């Protein structure tokens, strides 16, 4: 949870599944967006993953076939922070015709910056 002046301004939920740290939800109050809160929540999640010996963090969102600005911003948020698409799937739901799964390699414990991040 991210707090500002005692008020909740953002949150992230995490779940470890099959050795991967998965983001269930990441949200920041609209009036608090673009102030680094989401990035800081993500940094904390990555550190949590490293501390628990995990090497990947992942989530999913609507694919780019959905022209909806909030999801376009969501995709760009993750892509700018090093996430890449590893799976695309279509659905029967007309309001959500495509879903993308995205992931990022996080440095291993004790390996600052991890060579794979720099390559």
Segment 11-35, tens digit of pLDDT: 999 999 999 999 999 999 999 999 9
Question: In Å, how far from its chain's centre is CA 113?
Answer: 18
CA distance 1 to 100: 25
- Tokens linked to 12: 């992230």
Tell me: pLDDT of 118 over 50.
Answer: no
Per DSSP, the three-state class of 20 is strand
CA distance 29 to 37: 10
Tell me: pLDDT of 111 over 60.
Answer: no
Q: Which residue range forms the structural domain that includes residue 46?
A: 2-118
CATH of the domain at 67: 3.40.630.30
Number of domains composing the chain: 1
CA distance 74 to 51: 26
Of 17, 18, 108, nearest in space to 116 by CA? 108
Q: Are 106 and 46 in contact (CB under 8 A)?
A: yes
**pTM (2 d.p.):** 0.83
Q: What is the mean pLDDT of the chain?
A: 89
- Tokens linked to 67: 């022209």
CA distance 76 to 16: 24
């Amino acid at each position: 949870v991210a707090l500002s002046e005692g008020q909740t301004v953002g949150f992230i939920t995490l779940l470890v599944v099959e050795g991967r740290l998965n983001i269930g939800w990441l949200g920041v109050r609209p009036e608090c967006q673009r102030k680094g809160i989401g990035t800081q929540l993500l940094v904390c999640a990555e550190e949590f993953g490293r501390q628990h010996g995990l090497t990947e963090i992942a989530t999913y969102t609507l694919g780019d076939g959905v022209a909806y600005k909030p999801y376009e911003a969501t995709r760009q948020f993750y892509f700018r922070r090093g996430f890449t698409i590893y799976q695309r799937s279509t659905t029967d739901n007309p309001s959500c015709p495509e879903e993308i799964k995205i992931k990022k390699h996080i440095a291993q414990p004790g390996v600052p910056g991890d060579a794979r991040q720099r390559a």
